[in-house]
A and B are shown apart, each in its own frame.
Chain A
């Protein structure tokens, strides 16, 4: 069980994030995650997924995890298939319609081996936002009339002023938020380009925050464009430098998602079912000592091609 928004607030009174060098290795950062934790995964679908940190988390062999994400993609399937996670909280699970329904999700949920706690996209966003605001719930007009309400924890309420029917969306305090960003300084002031997805609320909601960055930059670089800073140092516990740290997913303006990699992954699933995802983890995660080893196996030419494509698209 995760803590309440009030408990999370109180915890920060005792939890200090000094203005100190927070750079650590991926393995050291992942030591902040315990068995049974609720992990909020930054980015969404195949965009700015903290893949290097998630691969490290798979390597660490944690169990009983819950993963939450606005739109969960292939990374979440890997956690289900290896038994690391037993619950997904999301509004959508799958790579994209081009790749069909997720056979991993189907196998685990249809056979009662894992839970998929489904919320509408906005409702999940409000769960993080309520926790980020330090309040126990937020009222909304969405999801009223949806059968999702009977299956999740949302409660119907009346507005104390107007009497209108609303839904109360409960705060979600992740134990750990794991994000990948474009740049950070050593203190954990972080910036992204392009989409922010739900990263800001997710990080402010969470009890611990781990960030990987394409690049660690000097504080002067951050200060040159303070409006682009997404999170301040006191909302971040650990910073890990990982170029191409979202691969095979995209990082806005830097590299596109590798659709051919998804095709290969889905071909494995078609051939071997959920076991295909375990084979994928064997050969892409466990076979390498670290994420750099995985990127080496992909090859520099491929990565440079994805980078060129991204630059061209966002020029």
Chain B
């Protein structure tokens, strides 16, 4: 181990910040990509008993360094898992309340944490037909604590999503509960620039901490709506050597695959 600080990429900061949110002995329902990577890192570090669940029906995947799955339904995603069930069943475990964390990415998220993965433009005459919900609408509705992780860009952080595929706090205040979503709390949004939460009364997204070297103005500039600011804005610690080593080992380019 050298004393030289390795070059940390914004993506790595985001993954490490996200991974630190996960506590040991919990169950996380993770999407593929960054949520799965962050969950895998947490398991290798502070949360060795974290159970990672994937919507393909996998309970307890261990992930193989350098062999991360692209989909939640392929055999790579099942590596080391003690149980495979069917897709509907895994979501019914979520509905029953077994899953502590729901961990999602987002192509477009708004000030109330609503996620759009369905339409850009008018849904009746869309400019772009996006792929759809997949399990995100279910994960955000049925897990206890929800984390969203995504790059901080103005085109992603919009004032109002064109379409609420996966409901966050809807129109703020009590609207999520009024819609019938009595469970589930959007706990945090993790980005390469900041850590945010939702102000308890208005349920409006709120800046609570900055990634190293990032200013409040830079976060606001990358956000398509006026941010609420916490009373004190913290600074997130840089990833440690240990975290970076583990992360890079896990996410190494897959060379053994087809």
Point out residues on A near B: beta carbons under 8 Å. Answer: 44-47, 70-71, 90-94, 96-98, 101-102, 105-106, 109-110, 112, 116, 118-123, 125-126, 128-129, 140-148, 151, 156, 164-167, 194-201, 250, 252-253, 256-260, 305-306, 309-310, 312-314
Given A91-B134, A91-B135, A309 contacting B258 (CB threshold 8 A)? yes
| Contact present for A148 and B118 (CB under 8 Å) | yes
| Contact present for B258 and A47 (CB under 8 Å) | no
Check B48 for interface membership: any CB of A closer than 8 A.
no
Main secondary structure of the interface of A (DSSP, over half): mixed
Check B84 for interface membership: any CB of A closer than 8 A.
yes
Set of chain B residues within 8 Å of A98, measured between Cβ atoms = 70
| Contact present for B133 and A91 (CB under 8 Å) | yes
| Contact present for A313 and B75 (CB under 8 Å) | yes
Which bracket fits the contact residues of B?
35 or more
Contact of A121 among B123, B125, B129, B138 (CB under 8 A): B138
Point out residues on B near A: beta carbons under 8 Å. Answer: 32-33, 55-58, 64, 67, 70-71, 73-76, 78-79, 84-88, 91-92, 94-95, 118, 123, 125-138, 141-142, 163-167, 170, 175-176, 179-183, 256-258
| Contact present for B131 and A151 (CB under 8 Å) | no
Set of chain B residues within 8 Å of A96, measured between Cβ atoms = 70-71
How distant is the Cα of A129 from the Cα of B183 in the complex, in angstroms? 24
Given A120-B135, A145-B181, A148-B137, A195 contacting B128 (CB threshold 8 A)? no
| Contact present for B71 and A46 (CB under 8 Å) | yes
Given A146-B166, A313-B64, 10 more A-B residue pairs with CB atoms under 8 Å apart are A91-B133, A116-B132, A120-B133, A122-B92, A122-B94, A140-B95, A142-B138, A196-B84, A253-B75, A306-B258
Set of chain A residues within 8 Å of B180, measured between Cβ atoms = 141, 144-145, 156, 164-167
| Contact present for B75 and A310 (CB under 8 Å) | yes
Set of chain B residues within 8 Å of A144, measured between Cβ atoms = 141, 167, 179-181
| Contact present for B131 and A101 (CB under 8 Å) | yes
| Contact present for A195 and B78 (CB under 8 Å) | yes
How distant is the Cα of A201 from the Cα of B85 in the complex, in angstroms? 13
Set of chain A residues within 8 Å of B56, measured between Cβ atoms = 44, 47, 195, 197
Q: What's the nearest-Cβ distance from chain B to residue A150, in Å?
A: 9
Given A118-B132, A252-B75, A253-B75, A196 contacting B141 (CB threshold 8 A)? no
| Contact present for A197 and B86 (CB under 8 Å) | yes
